[in-house]
Amino acid sequence: MHDLGGLRTNSYAMFTSVQAGYTKKLGDLKWAIAGRDTVKLEKIKDGSSTCSGVIVADSSNQTSIDKMVARTKVLLSFAGPFTLYGTPVVESCVRQGTHYCDSTGEVPWIQSLMKQFHGDAVKNNALIVPMCGFDCLPSDLGVLYAVQKLRERGVTSISSATLYAVLNGAMSGGTLSTGILMESKYKEILDNPFSLGGGPENDDHLKHALNNLKSAEFSKETGLWLGPFVMENLNTRVVRRSAADLNYRAPGKGGFRYAEVSIAGSEARAKKLAIGSPPPEKRKQMMDQGKLPKPGEGPAFPERRRMFFQSLMHAKADDGTEIWTSLTGGDGGYEDTALMCCEAALTMALEYAALPRKGGVLTPSVAMGTTLIERLDRAGLRFRAIGTTPHGAIRSSL
């Protein structure tokens, strides 16, 4: 999995069972790595004791993509920006009935997949599940976990959830470059809080979704300084789609309300977060000047070992019941993104029969539900209910 984390820009991993159908025995699983460069692929294969082989494929050559897809049950893609390179791969998976997941957080591209391929994916029993890395599993599955804990208490209608993020990490040049592309070309889609569906149910629901935190704020409810969360405009779109598909809130109650903020630790830190990122053209200039990492560049492994994330979730029900939950992990941008994506692929390869949906362009929560939560928890990402307040559970990064 560590090797896969370094292949974000040009690689695929393919999982296929030796036996017909699906099996829960990991020892019966075969996987191969695919990409454009045979030499690089062979080097990676030589560093793995389990990789079954390499396959040369290029998204600009549909024949090579079709041949690759035909050889597997599940395809996991790290080949971004997905807006530029991902559609031919997804189209082939849908057409051939192969399951698919990836590490993208590109909301406009995901919207296009839902419009183009959802019906055929359902028809062909192909699970197409983007957003299986740090974009956007901690949010999507974090909300589902909190909702499930409330429902275990007999609650049927969950009114809202708020994610309080603690993030100690750094973005790669590829992620920064993709963000520049998204903001430059697809701002209208990014600015729509329901761009993937899920509402709005009424004007108040829309107003809440548009009113994401933009300034430093002291929260009397939590006793914490808060600031904007850099991933809010991606994660919230996914969660709202999941909330609608999974009926988190009963119809006619005003729509499920979701927000994300950063725990700042201090007023000064909160104000720094509120400044936000420079506009995309300025970031591109800084990248060209070497002030920001370029695609293929990013934090070195010793630095990544010190990184971690925590997602604290506060969910409330219409009857007044509420809960705090926590999801903690390590380096979200590299190691844990690889881990999340691989576990999502393994879930589809090994536990397909247990999944709630058999095909479609779906969010991770809708496609794999608590089955994926259980796999991730066993793999080291800790989902926990933490009681009525978050203070004792917050991991300090400041």
Residue 153 predicted with pLDDT over 80: yes
**Residue 220: per-residue pLDDT:** 87
- Confidence band of 148 (pLDDT split at 50, 70, 90): very high
Average pLDDT, the chain: 88
Task: Assign 397 a pLDDT band (cuts: 50, 70, 90).
Answer: very low
pLDDT surpasses 90 at 173: no
- For the cut 50, the answer to whether the pLDDT of residue 179 exceeds it is yes
Confidence tier at 26 by pLDDT (50, 70, 90): low
pLDDT at 342: 94
Residue-wise pLDDT for 81-99, tens only, equals 999 999 999 999 999 999 9
Is the pTM of the predicted complex or chain greater than 0.85? yes
Other CB atoms within a 10 A radius of the CB of residue 78 amount to 24
Contact (Cβ atoms closer than 8 angstroms) between residue 232 and residue 226? no
Q: CB count, 10 Å around CB of 31?
A: 21
The confidence score (pLDDT) of residue 25 equals 53
Asked whether the beta carbons of 64 and 92 are under 8 A apart, the reply is no
Domain ranges in the chain are 2-133+337-370, 137-330+376-393
398 or 337, which is more confident = 337
The CATH number of 2-133+337-370 is 3.40.50.720
- Where does the pLDDT of residue 286 fall: very low under 50, low under 70, confident under 90, or very high at 90 and above? confident
Burial zone of 25 (CB within 10 Å; 0-12 exposed, 13-18 middle, 19+ buried): exposed
Q: What angle do CA 141, 146, 152 make, to 5 degrees?
A: 125
Q: Identify the band that residue 156 occupies on the pLDDT scale cut at 50, 70 and 90.
A: very high
pLDDT of residue 64: 94
Q: What Å distances lie between residue 234 and 11, 104, 179, 182, 239, CA to CA?
A: 23, 10, 11, 11, 9
Q: What is the pLDDT of residue 14?
A: 67
